[in-house]
Amino acid sequence: MSAPRSVLLLSLSLLLAVPHGSGRRPPPARSALQQVVPEGQLSLSELVGRWFLVGTASRCSYLAENGHRLEATAMTVAVPDGQSLAISTFRKLDGQCWEIKQRYVPAGAHGHFTVRGRGYNSRMEVAVGEVDPRSYAIIYYQDSQGLSVKLYGRSVQLSDAIVDKFEQRARAVGLSEDVTHYFPTYGFCDSADDFHILDGEHGPTVPQPCPAVLAQHMAGVPL
C-alpha cells in the first residue's frame, strides 16, 4: 500500500508546485479589424450605388511591384435583403473589362462582414470604418494576405482632408505612406459581357485587398 500512497503524495506536490492560473489559456488577442467601429450610425442603404477606388494601403507584394500599372477600379453596392451587401467590382485586365460579384454577409458587430472563400475555412473579413454617403468610404479588409485599408469615393477626386483622414487611419493599423497606392482617375469599366463575369457567390471568391489574386483568378491560375 505504500507505493500508491507515495504516488498520490508526489502528484499532490506537483499540483501545488504549478503556479496559480498557469493552466488557463490567455484570451485571444483582438485583431486590428475587430477593433474597427463605424463612426456614427451606419445605414447600409447609404452604401448603395457606385463607388470609385481612390487609394489602397496594403503590404501586398503585387502593389509594391506593379503600383505603376494599376487599373481604374469601381464597384457598385446593393442591399438585396437589408442585411448583406451585394458587391460588383469592375476593372480591366489586358484591356478587357471584368466584373467580380461578391456577397458580404453580416458578421456579428455592426458594420462587419464576412466574404467566404472557396478553400476550407477560407474567408475575408470586412469592416466599414467611416462613411459619408455623399462623398467617401474607408473600408478595412483582412484575409490570409494581411490587413488592407481602402478609400472609396463617390467621385474620383476627393479633398485633401479626406485623403489625410484615410492615411491617418492606415497609419493607425501600421500601414505607412510607403505602402499606400492611389489608382487612376480615368478608364473605368461600366459593365462586362457574360464571358468576363466571376461570381464569387457560386464560384471562386476573389479577395480584393491584393490585385494579384484578382489577376490570378482572371488568368485561370490556381491559388
pTM over 0.85: no
Higher pLDDT, 2 or 124: 124
Q: In the prediction, which pLDDT does 185 show?
A: 92
Average pLDDT over residues 110-123: 76
In a domain, residue 154? The reply is: yes
For the chain, how many structural domains are there in total? 1
Mean pLDDT of the region 39-64: 88
Q: Does a structural domain hold residue 22?
A: no
Instruction: Report residue 49's pLDDT band, with 50, 70 and 90 as the boundaries.
Output: very high
Q: Is residue 8 part of a domain?
A: no
Does residue 6 lie within any of the structural domains? no
DSSP for the chain, written as a single string:
-HHHHHHHHHHHHHHHHSPTTTTSPPPPPPPTTTT---SS---GGGG-EEEEEEEEE---HHHHHHGGGPPP-EEEEE-SSSSSEEEEEEEEETTEEEEEEEEEEE-SSTTEEEEE-SSTT-EEEEEEEEEETTTEEEEEEEETTEEEEEEEESSS---HHHHHHHHHHHHHTT--GGGEEE--SS-------GGGEEETTTS----SS-HHHHHHHHHT---
Q: Is residue 38 part of a domain?
A: no
Region 21-33: mean pLDDT is 51
Q: Is the pLDDT of residue 213 over 60?
A: no
Domain-located, residue 21: no
d(CA 200, CA 219) in angstroms, rounded, equals 16
CATH of the domain at 187: 2.40.128.20
Residue 212 resides in a domain:
yes
Structural domain for 113, as ranges: 44-219
Q: Domain for residue 14, yes or no? A: no
